[in-house]
Structures are given as structure tokens and as C-alpha cells.
A and B are shown apart, each in its own frame.
Chain A
Amino acid sequence: MLGFILSGDYPKSRVLTGILVAIVLGLAFAPFLFPGAAAINTAATICIFIVLVASYDLLLGYTGIVSFAHTMFFGIGGYGVGLALYGMNPTWGAVGIGLALALVIGVVLAFLIGLLSLRVRAIFYAMITLAVASAFLIMATQFSEYTGGEDGRSFRVPEVLRPGYRPFSGPILGLDITGRVLAYYLVFVAAIVLFLTALRVVNSPFGRVLQAIRENDMRAEALGYRVVYYRTVANCLAAAMAVLAGAMSALWVRYTGPDTTLSFAIMLNILLMVVIGGMGTMYGAIVGATLFVVAQNYLQKLMGTAAAATEGIPLLPKLLHPDRWLLLLGVLFILSVYFFPTGIVGRLRSSARKAD
């Protein structure tokens, strides 16, 4: 049963299993365990990024494609649902229409970019996607009469997901169940389903071909697999998943704007999460996203304390300034590319293998 759910891809390390179980249980009971709007927001962000990072890992870790256009698809999902809810009544119908449109646009765009540039080398593809993604970002801010420009759009979500909605009269397990909690569980369940789907994909024969292409595309081609076909399909799948992550984000944040969905900073964050968590290991998405989002939210406070403690020492307080948290993660990123290229998850797995 468990083997079916996880597609036979077990964590393969006791420590890793422990970490994953802790994260998943923590996320599953987040509204009950960690009261407060900030904590539940952190948990929802983790869920959204797990999906986004898993979909990116499908490209980077399993197929060996470096794309910088992943936030574009995330943004398409966010804008699709957001603008549909903004323009129409906030109903599930609007969500459905927006999502369907976003999926179609996202997949077609991924297909076109793929056709244009997946025949070329990794370096070419990375640059072309970077250019396309920034053009998309600028278009989204320029056509402000539709997209709200820099300000983005705030919108109302279906009634069931609003904070004012209360399905039960009293609290359950000490928690008032509001529409916000329901929205969290919608995001959580969607994240679980999408993550398991991604796990299914990479452990299917299709996923094995992708890994073969990553290892040696000439040899895969020689074995009779049409590399361009497989890469394009992987690209479209990852794009579709990123669109869904964007839709989840829109429903949770109730806002869509360039900074939260399209910006290059988010692309960098995704890259950091994939590499630190572990390229080519789906579980790396869970570990990486959790570590990163928690660091983003709590490392800053820690660094603020450290900076205050080192007051008077030259340079150190500046290095430990709360806004410099990305510096530490950047260094960690470089170190992981060198010393443990399969990230935290790969490291844990290989040390577990050695212990056996």
C-alpha cells in the first residue's frame, strides 16, 4: 500500500524518513499545532513551494534541463485564477475557468519554448528561458489595465475559503474552523496529491528515460528514445504543475502580482531550494522548501539577535544583518553544488547506504 502511494520510491534513510514524517505531520496539523496567522501562512507557503520545487526538480534534477522560466508558469497559474476571480464573481466556476485557461496557456507556451530551444545545449536553453521569462514579467507589468501592473490584483475567493466562513458552531480540538483553515487544507491536500503524482512520474518508465537523457542524451538517442520528445513532454508536465502551484498560491494569498509570482528573486529561491534539498530526489523538494521557507521567516530574527550580540565588532554585524540571510543560503548553495551535489537528501541517503 505504502509502496503504491510512494511509487516504490522510499526515503531509504532512517534520518530522512524521520525528517519527512515530522515535516508532513507538522504540515498536516499545522493549524492545530502552531496557532496564529503567521505560522499557518508559513505552512501554506511551504506546501505551495513543495509543489513548485518538485515540478522544477522534474526538469533540473531528473531531466538535466536548466530553465529560468519556471516562475513564468507559476505566474500564469496565479494570474489565471486571480484574474478570473477578479473579473467574474468569486465562485468555483471562475476558479475552474481561470485554471483551465492558465493550464492551456502554460502548456502551449512550454511546448513552444521547448520546440524552439530544447534541441540546443543546456547553456543556450538557460539563457533563452531567462530572456523569455523577463519579457513575460515586463509584459505583465506593462499591460496594467488587465493585470494591475506593479500593484497586482487583490480579489475575493469563493465563500467557503473566506475567513468569515464558519461551518461548525463550536471549536474543534481547540481550534475555530474558519474558511482560512479550509483553504489551508485545500492547499495541503493539493500539495500531497501533486507531489505523489510527481513521484509517480519520475518512477515510471517515462521518468527512467528522463534520467537516462540527463546522464547521456546521445546514448539515450542511440537507444531509440527521441530525446526532444521526452524533453518537451517533461517541460510541459513541469509547466502544468507549476501552473497548479500558482493557482494554489493565488487561492491562498488572495492576491496576484509580479513580485509574488513572476519575479526573478522567486526563481532564485526555487533554484536554491532544489539544490540544497537535493537535485534528482523528489524528497529534496520537501526538505528544501521547508528549510528555505523556515529560514526565510525565522533565520532573519535569529540573525537580528546575532547582529545585536556582535555589536562593536567591525563588519560582523553587517554580515549578520537580518536582510543578509540570503548570503548564508547563497554560500550554502555553492557548498552544496560542490560537496554534496545531490543535496541534503542525497547526502542522507548515501550515508545510510554506507551504514548498511
Chain B
Amino acid sequence: MTDVPAPAPSTEALPHLKSDYWPILLPIILAAAALPLVGNPTTWLTLTVAALAMGMMIFVIASGLTLVFGLMDVLNFGHGAFIAVGAYIAMSVLALLSGWMQVDSLAWNLAALGLAVAVAMVGTGLLGWAFERVIIMPVYGQHLKQILITMGGLIVAEQLIHVIWGGDQKSMPLPAGLRGAIVFGDFALEKFRLLAVAVGLVVFVSMTLVLNRTKIGLLIRAGVENSEMVEALGYRIRRLFVGVFVAGSALAGLGGVLWALYRETLTAAIGGDIMVLVFIVIIIGGLGSVGGCFLGAVLVAMMANYTAFLAPKIALASNILLMVAILMWRPQGLYPVAKR
């Protein structure tokens, strides 16, 4: 007698995708664990909301990088340059529109900000296009050279920022309508944080929808699996991938604007400062997954905010510990991209 089970009928050959909700619980667990440590519920709520806003900004910055890595297998260490360039372009535009910024009307403020963001995204998108053509194109498939060459690109871009905008620290004030907070009893909700959360959610939802529900998303995902096949079907997959790179760079520009407004100051090294958190986020997320990147960003921001309150000296180190812990649990990150 053999106990070999009969092979499954071929009509059921398509495996059912396993839903995996455990990582989604992590931020909730983290927030719940922090509540007794922080003690005061109002403080805890402020910290948590601040963390959400910060997480959204980190997500916007990291999403472009993780997109480019997940789809094109390019790790761009020069991503920080796009962040800084986006912020600087927005600063220049806002300086031109200073009249719109100082009016005490939210509509004009948002119009100025929207215009600045649009110009910044177009600018960083174009820069990303040039970066892809000149710097990255010859080194597809060679990780070591990619790291080195994009590092070189970062150095050159940072120096060019100094050439164009000067080397000193710039200030980047928030428009009048976005300053201050909405107060509910003891709890104050800063307006800018609300905006950051909204932008982050919009980016997340639209990225997920484009990748999973549109033909372009389908082609991109198919191109990752088997680019020759997609080419043979008559689609120019290379052009599509360049588009992905441009979109990723534009997202970095958007994130840079948000981040600079949040800090209200701006230096050429602004991208480098945040890149460490961004790398932790995309490692935690699983290198290439948009959902993982989103969760990772929220987790990292929460960890940073809670520890900054509880034990400020170990704020960044705590994120390393978080990364180590998550990698022990899931060595490929929260939502590993299946192909790799």
C-alpha cells in the first residue's frame, strides 16, 4: 500500500494566495505597548499622531526607492539627492510665490504649495530620467557597481546643489494657513501633520491601485517576471521601466518637499540624513513591496517617536533593534517580493 496522496486535479492548479495579516497588527501592538510606558494618554496620542505623520513622509520618500528596487532591481543610493533637489526646487518656487504664502487664506497657500510640489516633482522626475540614462543604464544587473555609481551620483548631485543654491542652510517656512494646530481639549493636532497624512495615504492608495488594477501595472509586473516575453508581445518594457524610475524620483522629490517643510530648514545633506531611516524602512518592508514599505515606515516612525520621548539617547539605535527583531522573525522582511 502506498500512502502517496493523489495529485490534485489540474483544474485547481492555480494556488490560492495566502493572505498574511500578521504584519498589519504590528503597529497596533507597538502603539498598545507604548501606552503604559508613556503613561499620559494625551501625550501618547500626540506622539502616535506625530508618528503617523512622520511615517507618511518617510513612506513617500521610501516608496520611490522600493518601487525602483522591486521592479527594476536597481538600488539607488543616490535617492537622497532627489530628496534634496526636490526640496530646493520647491524652496525656489515658494520664494517666488511668497505673496501667495503669506496671505492668510488656506486656498492661496495650498495653491502655492501645490505649484511648488508640481514643479519639484517635474524637476526631480527629469533629473531621475537623466540619472537613469547617464548613470544607471550601463550597470543594470551589477549590484556592486550600482551601489558605487549611485554613491558617486549622490556626491556629484550634492556638490551641484551647492553650486546652484549656495552652501549655507536655508529656511523653508510653512505657509501661514498651515501653521498652528487644531485643538481638541488637551490634544493639539498640527495642521501640517494632517496634510502629510493625507498626502501619504493618497500616494499609497494610488500606487497600490496603479500596480494592481491598471494595464500599466499589469505590464510592469509582467515585465519584472519575464521582460523578454512582454517585449515579444510588442510592449516596450524598457521605456516603461524608465517611466518607473522617473515616477520613483518624482515621489522622492515630493517627499523631500514634505520633509523640508516639516523641518523648516534645508541643507544639501537633508537627503542623506533621512536615507538611513529610509533604508531601514525598505529592509523591514521586504525590499520592493509597497505595502511592506508603508507598514515599515509607520513602524519606524512610531519607534522613533516613542523612544525619542522615553529614552532620547537611543532613538536611532532603537530602530536598528526593531530592524534586527523583524529580520529575525522574517529574514526577507515583512512582505518579501515573491520572485527574489
Contacts and interface: CB of A to CB of B under 8 A. Distances in A.
A338 B146 CA distance: 11
A15 interface: no
B145 to A, nearest CB: 6
Contact of B145 (A121, A138, A337): A337
Contacts of A122: 143-144, 147
A319 interface: yes
Contacts of B317: 135, 138-139
Interface string A301-342: 000000000000001001101011011011101100110010
B151 A132 contact: no
Interface stretch (B17-25, B107-115, B250-258, B319-327): B319-327
A337 B279 contact: no
Interface stretch (A123-131, A154-162, A232-240): A123-131
A271 B148 contact: yes
A116 B286 CA distance: 16
Given A124-B287, A275-B148, A319-B163, A132 B279 contact: no
B279 A264 contact: no
A178 interface: no
In this complex, the member of B69, B155, B280, B287 whose beta carbon has the largest number of chain A beta carbons within 10 angstroms is: B155
Contact of A130 (B149, B276, B324): B276
B163 to A, nearest CB: 5
Interface size class of A (residues with CB under 8 A): 35 or more
Interface size class of B (residues with CB under 8 A): 35 or more
A341 B138 CA distance: 13
A142 interface: yes
Contacts of A123: 69, 75, 143, 146-147, 287
Nearest to A274: B148
In this complex, the member of A135, A271, A331 whose beta carbon has the largest number of chain B beta carbons within 10 angstroms is: A135
A67 to B, nearest CB: 11
Contacts of B276: 130-131, 134-135
A319 B167 CA distance: 12
A66 interface: yes
A64 interface: yes
A314 to B, nearest CB: 12
B267 to A, nearest CB: 13
Interface string B287-308: 1000000000000000000000
B167 A323 contact: yes
A29 interface: no
B148 A331 contact: no
B163 A128 contact: no
B26 interface: no
B92 to A, nearest CB: 16
Interface in B305-340: 312-317, 319-320, 323-324, 327, 331
A138 B316 contact: yes
Contacts of A264: 272
A134 B272 CA distance: 11
A337 B283 contact: no
Given A130-B276, A130-B279, A131-B276, A327 B159 contact: yes
Contacts of A120: 331
A31 B331 CA distance: 53
Contacts of B135: 334
Given A124-B283, A323-B162, A66 B152 contact: no
Contacts of A272: 155
Contacts of B156: 327, 330-331, 334
B175 interface: no
Contacts of A124: 283, 287
Given A127-B279, A135-B316, A116 B155 contact: no
B238 to A, nearest CB: 20
A337 B149 contact: yes
A341 B77 CA distance: 19
A268 interface: yes
A143 interface: yes
A334 B153 contact: yes
A134 B316 CA distance: 8
Contacts of A318: 163
B144 A64 contact: yes
A228 to B, nearest CB: 14
B48 to A, nearest CB: 23
Given A135-B317, A324-B163, A330-B156, A271 B151 contact: yes
A126 B314 contact: no
A139 B314 contact: yes
B166 to A, nearest CB: 9
Contacts of B77: 126
Given A143-B313, A330-B155, A116 B327 contact: yes
A330 to B, nearest CB: 4
B335 to A, nearest CB: 16
B191 to A, nearest CB: 30
A12 to B, nearest CB: 24
B160 interface: yes
Contact of A66 (B147, B324, B331): B147
A64 B314 CA distance: 32
Contact of A131 (B144, B313, B323): B323
Given A116-B327, A327-B156, A338-B138, A135 B279 contact: no
A283 B283 CA distance: 35
Given A124-B287, A130-B275, A337-B152, 5 more contacts: A124-B283, A131-B319, A134-B316, A142-B312, A327-B155
8 contacts: A122-B143, A123-B287, A126-B147, A138-B315, A271-B151, A333-B152, A334-B149, A337-B148
Interface of A: 64, 66, 116, 120-124, 126-128, 130-132, 134-135, 138-139, 142-143, 264, 268, 271-272, 275, 315, 318-319, 321, 323-324, 326-327, 329-331, 333-334, 337-338, 341
For the complex of A and B, list the 7 residue pairs with the smallest distance between their C-beta atoms, beginning with the closest: A330-B155, A327-B159, A334-B152, A330-B156, A127-B279, A333-B152, A142-B313
